[in-house]
Chains A and B, each alone.
Chain A
Amino acid sequence: MIAIVDYGVGNLFSLSSSLKALGFSAEVTGNGEKLRAAERIILPGVGAFGDAKAKLDATGLVPVLQEEARKKPLLGICLGMQLLFEQSFEYGEHPGLGLVPGQVVDLRNDLTDKMLKVPHMGWNSLQIQKSDPLFRYFRDGEYVYYVHSFYAKDCAASTVGTSQYGNVAVTGVVRNGYVWGTQFHPEKSGDAGLRLLKAFAEL
């Protein structure tokens, strides 16, 4: 079973539907025991980092996630991926889960072309930087759907996929041990996204 962490952030309908459409059993849950019992965990998330982290802290699930991430595959999606890092500078300074080295910073500050729109929203092609089992069914350069204004930086060692936006190579996919993260939404990235989820579910 794949546990989708429910901490009151974001819309989990598409994510659980996409896993079900692929034939995997998924459960949206905020229960620590269920996370421990699950074979895989997905940490979703939309909105602002500080707010989401506060909600996640309030559930008491942070130590469970940190512990389980050493034992089985964990996938953070969008803000859920950003939460995996050490810290974020979105409206202040917030500590993350510390599961992937690096930090989350304002994309706008790093774009030299100030005409580029932020949020980085829409379909961008994903370049595979390092081969990874998550890309088992994915072809280099396929398009994935992004919606975000902050991005992960100083994480070269764990970056396995990027998308170019202006001068910035946006961190698209990270991997550190049993921990994976996608900045884009695989559950909204059509067939290419479903194939990434399938690979994760089969890890």
Chain B
Amino acid sequence: MLAKRIIPCLDVKDGRVVKGTNFEGLRDMADPVEMAGFYNNSGADELVFYDITASAEGRNLFTDILRRVASEIFIPLTVGGGIRTLDDFDRVLKCGADKVSVNSGAIADPGIIGAAAKKYGDQCVVLSMDVKRVDGQFRLFAKGGREDTGLDAMDWAVRGVAAGAGEIVLNSIDTDGVKQGFDLEMLDTLAARVNVPVIASGGAGKMEDFAKLFTHPGIDAGLAASIFHTRQVDIKKLKQYLRTQGVEMRI
């Protein structure tokens, strides 16, 4: 059977990884290429890179980094951040990305999901969503969680999958940064509505949070950033621990 996946996420700005980086034994503590190598050697099942730069220079730096990572690291790479058009897909795929994650770009133009799925295949299109509880509803937010779209997030996910999204990253704004565990209620609601892999994001603080996450059979992967970057949770140890808890892990 398929192993559950552990995915570190690297937010890259102006060529550097941001968000609590505290690596020991690395020459450059926030160099994305070195961090990618470190995660590859620790057993990460996939890497996610988000480009959070706005400038053209930053974007060029990002694609350079991506190309360097893709020529050294041979596990799946997902890239997101500022993806709005098929040209954006093309640009990052040519640099070695395997999957492309769309968020606000798909909210602005939902047609991008279907167009990209048709051109590159469903497996290439990841729909990433930021979701928060508002008036008893799971509400979809845009622009990095700053803008309430008024849309029901679960309906949006169903639409996205119907259009060709092959995977969904659900980031709960309610649990993000709180480090008290993933938003299991929100994740279960999503998993009951879609039949593509669901990647949980937001809320992981310790190893036990992942063990609890994977008792929910509809969830395929756990994604986190700072707890891995700060070494609060070590991926190698996490995977060994999860295996002792009966979770299928690639070790």
Contacts and interface: CB of A to CB of B under 8 A. Distances in A.
B74 A121 contact: no
B3 A11 contact: no
A17 B3 contact: no
B128 to A, nearest CB: 16
Interface in A129-172: 143, 145, 147, 164-166
Interface string B225-238: 00000000000000
Contact of B167 (A18, A121, A125, A165): A121
Nearest to B96: A13
Interface string B106-135: 000000000000001111000000000000
Nearest to B95: A13
A124 B250 CA distance: 8
Interface stretch (A34-42, A82-90, A173-181, A184-192): A184-192
Contacts of A194: 74
Given A143-B3, A189-B74, A122 B197 contact: yes
Given A117-B196, A119-B166, A147-B123, A124 B2 contact: yes
Contacts of A125: 3, 250
Contacts, number: 81
B167 A190 contact: no
Q: Which size bracket describes the interface of B in this complex?
A: 20 to 34
B209 interface: no
A187 B77 CA distance: 12
Contacts of A123: 2-3, 5, 45, 250
Given A122-B221, A187-B74, A189-B75, 8 more contacts: A13-B70, A14-B70, A14-B96, A21-B72, A122-B45, A188-B75, A188-B98, A190-B75
15 contacts: A11-B98, A14-B96, A14-B98, A17-B70, A17-B71, A20-B71, A21-B71, A48-B121, A117-B195, A122-B2, A124-B2, A188-B75, A188-B98, A189-B74, A189-B75
Interface of A: 11, 13-14, 17-18, 20-21, 46-48, 115, 117, 119-125, 143, 145, 147, 164-166, 187-191, 193-194
